[in-house]
Amino acid sequence: MPVQRLNHAVLYVRDLDRSVAFYTEALGFRQVAGMPGKAAFLQAEGSSNDHDLGLFAIGADAAPSAAGRGAVGLYHLAWEVDTLAELSRISDVLSGRGALVGASDHGSTKALYAQDPDGLEFEVSWLVPASLLGEETGMRVARLDLPAEIERYGARTRGGVGVSVPA
């Protein structure tokens, strides 16, 4: 049987408490388990998984990730939100923290790009529902105009239906 989905991701971080605070406050994860000073296991809102993100502390002297800058490695993880209203709210939170580094319209997805306190990049995206996909939602990289996308699709339209979420 082939792989079905990503179960969880694990990140090495310099300061566990700082990273837990970032992922809980900025993205709404909640800590469900951990080993003080060593590891934390976080769960996404609405998830029934035992954890979606593991964080392991390796200390303040850890070198930055060289992935993509002369070394192979993971580029980023992409977290999905249900509505454009939530994407807009997270955009404001990430901007306020100085973590937002970009925003793109990929046609079928509307994406924010940000960095956590250790400079690890991640994406937060809303997926156009399958029923609304068409030629104009083909793969591309363009500037994201979030207010225009909210006007087009609605702030509360559930994203990913028929794509990543069962119809």
Q: What is the DSSP string of 12-42?
A: EES-HHHHHHHHHHHH--EEEEEETTTEEEE
Mean pLDDT, the chain, whole residue set: 94
pLDDT at 114: 97
- 105-123 residue pLDDT tens: 999 999 999 999 999 999 9
% of the chain with per-residue pLDDT over 90 = 84
The structural domains of the chain, ordered by start, are 1-60 (3.10.180.10), 75-167 (3.30.720.110)
Joined tokens for residue 16: 């566990």
Joined tokens for residue 111: 């994406």
Tell me: pLDDT of 1 over 80: no
DSSP single-letter state for residue 66: -
Tell me: pLDDT of 98 over 90: yes
Closest residue by Cα to residue 66 from 57, 78, 74, 55:
74
How deeply is 147 buried, as exposed, middle or buried, from its count of CB atoms within 10 A (0-12, 13-18, 19+)? Answer: exposed
- 14-49 residue pLDDT tens: 999 999 999 999 999 999 999 999 999 999 998 999
DSSP single-letter state for residue 84: H
